[in-house]
Structures are given as structure tokens and as C-alpha cells.
Amino acid sequence: MLPPAHPPVPVRPGSAPPLTTPTSFPLPPSLAQQPVAEATSHEEEEVTRLIELTQSTCKSMCVSKPSQYIRQLEAGEGTTGGEFSDCVFSAGFDDIIAAAIMDADANLKTLVEARSRSDWLRWKEAMDCEMTTLERAGTWSTVPRPSGKNIVGLKWVFHVKRKADGSVDKYKAQLITRGFTQIYGVDYFTTFSPVTKLASFRTILAIAARLDWNIKSFDFNGMYLNGELDDNEEIYMYPPPGYDSNETIVKRLCKSLYGLKQVGRKWYDTLSHALANLGFCVSQADPGVFCACVAEHVLILAVHVNDCIFTGSSKDLIAQYKKKINACYALTDLGPAHWLLGIKIMCNRAACTISLSQASYIDAILACFALADTKPYRSLMVHQQNGPNLS
């Protein structure tokens, strides 16, 4: 059913008809004789000419200025001369690029590449040193190759350790296992390794600042080589590349080695047993934190793989227990805690405050993305009025 039609709009006498009413107007004779297509074409040409004139006027008024980086390059900064070259390096990244090229040239990928170098004798000396260390530690035993057992591969990792001025400090070669060739349930089981949480580190530092305790730091030397394997973990390896070439013999691991899937777990279990024998107990809140009560004094040890901070109510007990831990596993005493996991620690015992800073990490990120020259922006920060200041 169609809707009812709208009633007609009344028109007053002498007024114009409504817009909805079609109306035809007579054209003048001059326009009526001119073709419509020619008039449309002429109008289009006129509009196109006006648009081109407007664009050219805008372009002439907007003059682009070269950026500061372009002006530096034109002045010869960061280039090999006063003119542009095919390869232009920014002046602020010359040292970084040179160091990257030096490291890429010095650090090798394979044993074959190391043998082809002119400094092969230095690398061979580093490999012999690593083999001597592993054999003295009783890392493996030589046995006939068993049938039906998974054999894990080995590889050498080469690295040049440099001094602060960029000169070579020493050549370092490390023998690691190819852990991706291990089979779950055959030569490894549990791999989870607890480490101290960052929130626990901050809490321990806050307690030490509040109670005015000494905070010491140290790290373990070759911690992963101290892990003991269980009897049900039979891990067989090929002979180290570049030494034994007899295919009828293999190495059975007695201790953990770098690259194994369970190496972190084994080190934690070994350290936990050693600390338990010294009177430490594992924290229920964080398995990476160990506590000990000696008479009326308290000792707190936080371990993150091999980085440790040690605090407590007695300075003498801290020194005494560091010697006991060192007797179990070799460690490097770093003195008062200044750095921890890339975080700078600043202690003010007179004001009972501890400040944490990651300025070096921020600077490294800015330099990595070429933002070191950007302008800083200040933002508000909540300041704690009472208690220790752990910013």
C-alpha cells in the first residue's frame, strides 16, 4: 500500500514557485546558440590554469631549510672531507662503529676460522687453558662410546676481552655444549633456576638503609662449572673439537658445563646445599634469598645467578661468612655494593638513604636509537617524606 501523497504547498500570489517544482527558464540567444560541450571544456581549462597558478605560488612562498644534520655534513663534520662521500658516518658514532668493526673482526665463529688467523697461537693458548681448567675440575671422564645413547655436541666460543682504552686484554676461549641436542627425559629433566626478584633486592636495600647495615657485593667465579649432576643424568659428549679425534671414545659429564639445559638448576641446587650447611635457610617469599640468624645478629644473602649482595647487622660476621663461602666456591669480593644488575647503587649512611640509578642503561638505549642529542623533558616524581628514601 502506497503512503498518502503530501498535500500541495500553497503558493502566495506574486511569490516564486517552490524548489521542488521543476521550472525551465529561457536562455539568451547568445548562449542558446553556443554548444554546451565547448562551454564546459573552456571552464575546465580555466579551473586547471588557476590551480596550477595557486600551487606554483605556494611553492615559491614555502622555502625548506636544511636540518642541522645536513648542515653538519655540508660543513664536513662526520665525513672524510668537506664534500659528501658515498659512505657518510655521523661524528657521534665513529667510536661505536669502530668498536663494532673491531669486535666483528676479532671475535671468531668457528675453529676453522681461528686456525686461519695470524693470531692462531694466541687462540690455541686460550683453548689449552680452558681444557686444563676443565680437566682439573673433574668435569668429565673418558669412556667407550655406548650404544643407544644420545651424544651431545660441543663447540668453541671465542672472545677478545679488551681494556677500557680498547687494547686487547686477553684472548678467551670457552667450551660449551650444544644443549639443543639434548632429549627431555633422557639427559635432562628440571631446568627451572630461581633467582632473586628485583623487588626483593629493593626490599633488602630498604631494610639495610633503615637499620644502617653494611651492604657488600661479590660474584662467583665459573659458577656453572660447580654444579653436580645426578646419577640418573647420563650425559655423553663428543670429544672437544681440535683435541681428541677418536670416534670410539666419548666424554661422560660428571659436572655441569656451559650450554646444558639444566646448568642453571644444578648451580642453584649446589649453592643451596652449601649455604644450608653454613646455617642459611631459604626464604619462603623468594627462593633466591637466604637468611641466617647467628646469636642476636641477622645475615641476608641475595643471589642472582652469580651476582650477590650480602648485608646484616654485624660487619664482622659478614666478613667471616664471606670467607666460609669462598672456601666452598671461589668468589671475587667487590667490596661495598655500587653496581647490581646494571643498576648503580648510591648509599648515604648519614642520611639513611639509598638511591638507585639506571642512567647508563638509559644512555645506552638512547645512543642505540640515535636519540642522545634529544632535549630532556622533566616530569614530576613522588618524594617519600618519612622512612628510608629508596628512589
Helix extents (H) in 215-278: 263-277
Q: Tens-digit pLDDT profile for the chain (391 aa)? A: 445 555 554 545 554 454 444 444 454 555 445 454 444 566 667 767 766 666 555 544 555 666 666 676 667 665 444 444 444 444 444 555 455 545 544 567 788 888 888 888 888 898 898 888 888 888 888 999 998 888 998 998 888 877 656 677 788 888 889 888 888 888 888 888 888 998 999 899 989 888 889 899 888 887 888 888 887 888 999 988 888 777 888 999 988 888 899 888 989 999 999 999 999 999 999 999 999 998 899 999 999 888 889 999 999 999 999 999 999 988 888 888 888 887 888 888 888 888 888 887 788 788 888 887 888 778 877 766 665 555 5
Q: Do the Cβ atoms of 308 and 218 come closer than 8 Å? A: yes
The reported pLDDT for the residue numbered 226 is: 83
The reported pLDDT for the residue numbered 20 is: 45
User: How many other C-beta atoms lie within 10 A of the C-beta of residue 270?
Assistant: 19
The reported pLDDT for the residue numbered 21 is: 44
Length of the chain: 391
List phi, psi (to 5°) of 342: 80, 5
Contacts of 300 (CB under 8 A, 6+ apart): 204, 207, 289, 290, 291, 310, 311, 312
Nearest Cα residue to 72 out of 320, 373, 383? 373
Burial class (CB within 10 angstroms; exposed 0-12, middle 13-18, buried 19+) of 21: exposed
The reported pLDDT for the residue numbered 298 is: 93
* Structural domain boundaries in the chain: 95-390
Helix extents (H) in 24-151: 29-32, 36-61, 68-74, 94-106, 111-115, 120-136
The reported pLDDT for the residue numbered 65 is: 67
The reported pLDDT for the residue numbered 43 is: 66
The reported pLDDT for the residue numbered 39 is: 47
**Terminal CA-CA length for the chain:** 79
What cell numbers appear for 163 in the block?
681494556
Type of residue found at 140? W
The reported pLDDT for the residue numbered 229 is: 84
The reported pLDDT for the residue numbered 54 is: 62
The reported pLDDT for the residue numbered 319 is: 92
3-state secondary structure of 15: coil
List phi, psi (to 5°) of 165: -85, 5
Cell 626483593 appears where? 200
Q: How far apart are CA 129 and CA 117, in angstroms?
A: 19
3-state secondary structure of 177: strand
pTM equals 0.59
